[in-house]
């Protein structure tokens, strides 16, 4: 069952299409090439929020739609919730 969607193979995050609980192994669908990816959730991720697909260090960019959408402000591990506590949007 698909639990998150990844827009592009180069993305560093996916978007939850259901609530995800910490400890669950969840499968995501990569739209750009119709592949799948599995990740173990390290934190709860609400519907519509982002899950990290790779480890990201502070200062690096978060990629979604194969474009940078923001900057990491606190290190993020694969499977963690990506939101305002560890990401500053590129819009502001």
* Each residue's pLDDT tens digit, 17-57: 999 999 999 999 999 999 999 999 999 999 999 999 999 99
**pTM value?**
0.95
Helix (H) or strand (E) holding 24: none
Identify the band that residue 73 occupies on the pLDDT scale cut at 50, 70 and 90.
very high
Which residues sit opposite 51 in a β-bridge?
14, 81
Residue 2 DSSP class: E
Q: What is the CA radius of gyration of the chain?
A: 12
* Cβ atoms within 10 Å of 20's Cβ, excluding its own: 23
Domain residues for 26?
2-89
pLDDT at 92 over 80: no
CA distance 40 to 16: 13
- Give the pLDDT score at 90: 82
Mean predicted lDDT score pLDDT of the chain: 96
Number of folded domains that form the chain: 1
Domain CATH code at residue 64:
2.30.130.110
């Amino acid at each position: 069952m698909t639990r998150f969607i990844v827009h592009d193979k180069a993305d560093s995050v996916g978007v939850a299409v259901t609530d995800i609980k910490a400890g669950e192994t969840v499968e995501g669908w990569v739209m750009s090439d119709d592949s799948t990816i599995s990740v173990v959730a390290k934190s709860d991720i609400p519907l519509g929020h982002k899950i990290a697909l790779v480890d990201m260090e502070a200062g690096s960019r978060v990629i979604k739609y194969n474009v940078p959408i923001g900057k990491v402000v606190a290190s993020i591990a694969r499977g963690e919730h990506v939101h305002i506590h560890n990401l500053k949007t590129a819009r502001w």
